[in-house]
């Protein structure tokens, strides 16, 4: 498959085996979603064939396609044969008079419904929805009443419904909280068909995958093992080929030197044999990898005071709905706090309450990203410490990037005194090629907008970073770079994320949002917190 001069993959022959779970990896733009669309049949290959099983479970990306249907019906639609039979059966039953032919057809349809476990379809669909934290009272409602994250989970249940022979999942963990991700991991590990999954969550890939199909070098190479094992094997193979090439190049240079010196002399037979050896020793041509690694480094202009943040009996309600009840905590300089809990539990609400009282984040900026125009705090007090300077990455980060200018102009506004070379250097670190700095802000992709916001944080050099779901539009290389940068950052971090590795490797403290509007404050790493819960 190619687009113009850009080759995504060429002459690829590969097979996916039942019982195996494949992670489809490669950087943004490598062709992962294109390959997935070839597998589903939504795209036709420019050359070659794709053979697929009869029952295919596909995670749909269009959140609004099923707005007119009940939640339960949307899930059951995952089994196309069953849903078509149920719809036709209902149409026949709605007739005023049923003919003999209708009666015969009803018998056939009831047979299909029985074969496809249609009599337990609603119960099976409800179990999937419960696992993905869609409450029972939502099951009869139309999809149009659900929030974006809930819709994604229903569409995930649709893909899983009806025991498909193969599951094709494109970013299934997007908009899922950690509990739902853990449920999905367990479900997939016990699934007996083929799983092919695209994900930018390293921990998820390591937990689920038995194989990695990596799109790089204009081909697809399948490695046995987890994502981390693939990275190691890929690096070793590449180094081995490069080493062999270096050895061959040295040998070829020696042979060519001999040929040049003696080609006109009496040693013609030796010269001829060396020419043949040069042909045999041709260097293995290495295609260029399309992996690009950004470089993130967060610094602080000046350190903050020791006591950076105090929360006293912080509460928040919307109308009659309580979200956070009387939370008290004290944060000291250098702590890295992960805010965890189910979607809708109040993590972003607390972040907004803290930022509304911060010395460096304008309230207008918060209203832009939250769409909320009431008071951010219902009760209690938030006190920021001496010299606190806060940098903010919003969940809806695109709203923070003003339209009608170039990426370079937008970034330069945050430090007009910065040299053009410094601005271009930061953009280069975050993989904006020289001309990309002239891109209009309104046409930036989600990943480009996220990387531009990280440029801003590196330029500002705050001593507190507040990051709300920073990984949503990043590829694996960018998430790994963020992980390392946060571990090395000397300032204070408040981090909302569902990325297991990020929580595990960065956080020194956990704020866990419970279902009863309380927040558990655990002073320790995530692994210790899990041990305490398990005890």
DSSP readout, 473-525? Answer: T--HHHHHHHHHHHHH--SEEEEE---HHHHHHH-SEEEEEPTTS-EEEE-S-
| 206-212 mean pLDDT | 96
Looking at residue 283, its pLDDT comes to 55
Given a contact cutoff of 8 angstroms between Cβ atoms, the answer to whether 446 and 469 are in contact is: no
pLDDT, one tens digit per residue, over 435-474 is 899 999 999 888 899 999 999 999 999 999 999 999 988 8
pLDDT band at 265 (very low <50, low <70, confident <90, very high): low
Residue 314 — φ and ψ, nearest 5°? -70, 125
pLDDT band at 152 (very low <50, low <70, confident <90, very high): confident
pLDDT at residue 231 tops 80: yes
DSSP string, 282-337: PPPPPPPP-----------SS---SEEEEEEEEEEEETTEEEEEEEEEEEETT-EE
pLDDT at residue 289 tops 70: no
Query: Would you list the domain boundaries of the chain?
Result: 2-225, 231-280, 307-534
CA distance 228 to 225: 8
Average pLDDT, the chain: 89
Residue 264 — φ and ψ, nearest 5°? -95, 0
Given a contact cutoff of 8 angstroms between Cβ atoms, the answer to whether 158 and 60 are in contact is: yes
pLDDT at residue 395 tops 80: yes
Strand, coil or helix: what is 214? strand
Write the DSSP symbol of residue 444. Answer: -
CA distance 232 to 255: 35
Looking at residue 33, its pLDDT comes to 87
CA distance 313 to 275: 83
- Domain 2-225 classified CATH 3.90.1150.10? no
| 25-45 mean pLDDT | 88
The H or E element spanning position 160 is helix 148-160
CA distance 337 to 496: 9
pLDDT at residue 10 tops 90: no
- Assign residue 19 a region (left: φ > 0; alpha: ψ between -120 and 50; beta: otherwise): left
CA distance 397 to 175: 15
Looking at residue 352, its pLDDT comes to 92
Looking at residue 315, its pLDDT comes to 93
Q: Euclidean distance between the first and final Cα of the chain, in Å?
A: 52
From 376, 309, 374, 308, select the one nearest 346 (Cα to Cα): 376
The partner residues of 364 in beta bridges, in order of sequence, read none
pLDDT, one tens digit per residue, over 190-206 is 888 999 999 989 999 99
Q: What angle do CA 73, 75, 77 make, to 5 degrees?
A: 70
CA distance 510 to 376: 22
Least confident range of 85-89, 149-153, 502-506: 149-153
The partner residues of 322 in beta bridges, in order of sequence, read 317
Strand, coil or helix: what is 465? strand
Return the CATH number of 307-534, one of 3.40.50.2300, 3.40.50.300, 3.40.50.720, 1.10.3720.10. 3.40.50.300
pLDDT at residue 85 tops 90: yes
pLDDT band at 24 (very low <50, low <70, confident <90, very high): very high
Looking at residue 284, its pLDDT comes to 56
| 180-188 mean pLDDT | 88
Write the DSSP symbol of residue 16. Answer: -
Other residues' Cβ atoms within 10 Å of the Cβ of residue 74? 26
Q: Which residue has the tokens 């070829």?
A: 252
CA distance 334 to 342: 26
pLDDT at residue 55 tops 70: yes
pLDDT band at 175 (very low <50, low <70, confident <90, very high): confident
Burial class (CB in 10 A: 0-12, 13-18, 19+), 162: buried
pLDDT band at 525 (very low <50, low <70, confident <90, very high): very high
Looking at residue 473, its pLDDT comes to 82
Q: Which residues contact 335 (CB under 8 A, 6 or more apart)?
A: 308, 492, 493, 508, 509
CA distance 176 to 157: 12
Other residues' Cβ atoms within 10 Å of the Cβ of residue 385? 20
């Amino acid at each position: 498959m190619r687009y113009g001069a850009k080759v995504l993959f060429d002459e690829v022959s590969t097979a996916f085996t039942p019982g195996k779970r494949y992670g489809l990896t490669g950087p943004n733009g490598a062709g992962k979603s294109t390959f997935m669309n070839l597998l589903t049949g939504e795209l036709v290959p420019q050359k070659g064939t794709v053979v697929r099983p009869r029952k295919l479970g596909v995670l749909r990306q269009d959140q609004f396609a099923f707005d007119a249907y009940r939640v339960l019906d949307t899930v059951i639609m995952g089994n196309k044969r069953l849903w078509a039979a149920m719809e036709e059966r209902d149409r026949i039953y709605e007739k005023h008079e049923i003919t003999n032919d209708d009666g015969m057809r009803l018998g056939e349809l009831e047979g299909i419904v029985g074969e496809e476990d249609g009599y337990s379809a609603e119960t099976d669909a409800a179990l999937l929805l419960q696992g993905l934290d869609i409450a029972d009272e939502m099951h009869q409602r139309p999809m149009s009443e659900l929030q974006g994250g809930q819709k994604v989970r229903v569409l995930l249940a649709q893909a899983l419904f009806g025991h498909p022979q193969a599951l094709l999942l494109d970013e299934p963990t997007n908009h899922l909280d950690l509990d739902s991700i853990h449920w999905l991991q367990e479900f997939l590990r016990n699934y007996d068909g083929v799983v092919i999954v695209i994900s930018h969550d390293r921990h998820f890939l390591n937990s689920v995958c038995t194989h990695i199909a990596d799109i790089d070098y204009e081909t697809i190479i399948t490695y046995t093992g987890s994502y981390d094992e693939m990275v190691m094997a890929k690096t070793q193979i590449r180094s081995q080929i490069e080493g062999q090439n270096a050895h061959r190049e040295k040998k070829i240079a020696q042979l060519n030197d001999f040929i040049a010196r003696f080609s006109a002399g009496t040693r013609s037979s030796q010269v001829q044999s060396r020419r043949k050896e040069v042909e045999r020793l041709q260097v293995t041509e290495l295609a260029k990898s399309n992996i690009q690694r950004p470089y993130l480094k967060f610094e602080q202009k000046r350190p903050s005071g020791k006591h950076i943040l105090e929360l006293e009996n912080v509460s928040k309600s919307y109308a009659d709905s309580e979200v956070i009840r009387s939370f008290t905590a004290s944060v000291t300089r250098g702590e890295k706090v992960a805010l965890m809990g189910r979607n809708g539990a109040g993590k972003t609400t607390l972040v907004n309450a803290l930022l509304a009282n911060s010395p460096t984040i304008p309230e207008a900026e918060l209203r832009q990203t939250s769409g909320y125009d009431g008071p951010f705090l219902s009760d209690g007090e938030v006190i920021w410490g001496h010299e606190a300077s806060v940098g903010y990455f919003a969940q809806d980060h695109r709203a923070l990037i003003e339209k009608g200018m170039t990426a370079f102009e937008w970034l330069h506004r945050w430090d007009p005194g910065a040299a053009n070379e410094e601005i271009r250097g930061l953009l280069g670190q975050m993989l904006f090629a020289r001309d990309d700095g002239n891109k209009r802000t309104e046409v930036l992709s989600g990943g480009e907008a996220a990387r531009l916001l990280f440029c801003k944080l590196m330029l500002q050099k705050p001593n507190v970073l507040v990051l709300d779901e920073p990984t949503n539009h990043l590829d694996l290389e960018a998430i790994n770079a963020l992980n390392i940068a946060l571990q090395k950052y000397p300032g204070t971090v408040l981090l909302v994320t569902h990325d297991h590795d990020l929580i595990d490797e960065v956080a020194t403290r956990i704020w866990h949002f419970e279902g009863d509007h309380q927040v558990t404050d655990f002073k320790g790493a995530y692994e210790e917190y899990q041990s305490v819960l398990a005890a």
